[in-house]
Amino acid sequence: MAAPSRPRSQRGSAVVDIVLVLLVLVPLVLGIVQVALVMHVRNTLAAAASEGARYAATQGGSPGAGESRTRGQIDEGIAGGFARDIAVRRVVLGGVATIEVVVRARVPALGLGGPGVDLVVEGHAVAEQPPEQP
């Protein structure tokens, strides 16, 4: 027994249905992937900035050492090309001497290139003071 055939007016409608569904689903999935990528890069940069600030804040640490540590952490966690600019400086927050590391980065669309999302993350650590000499 042969399978019942579709009426002539419905032939090819499955292709149209698939195209219409894909027009909605593909941008949605790509958007979710982009958000996940941006969040991953932001969290990695924030962790690297905090680590660099802690390293520069240790007794005998320098802003250059903090920048180097931050770059190293970014290179290990994600591609180093994400971090466009790393600034390390001494600031006073709430009356406490603090080291601040600011990382500026751009995350391209889906990590491939083109327009991207600009990120600015900061890391802070209380600067250690050398012990007083007797």
Using one digit for the tens of pLDDT, what is the confidence trace for 14-70? 888 888 889 999 989 988 988 898 899 899 999 999 999 999 988 777 888 899 899
Cβ(101)–Cβ(123) below 8 Å? yes
Closest CA to 89 of 121, 57, 58, 128: 57
Measured CA to CA, the distance from residue 67 to residue 11 in angstroms comes to 64
Structure tokens given for 61: 């640490």
**pLDDT tens track for 76-93:** 888 767 778 999 999 888
Measured CA to CA, the distance from residue 94 to residue 5 in angstroms comes to 78
pLDDT tops 90 at residue 103? yes
> Strand locations in the chain, DSSP E?
83-93, 96-108, 116-126
**pLDDT tens track for 37-50:** 889 989 999 999 99
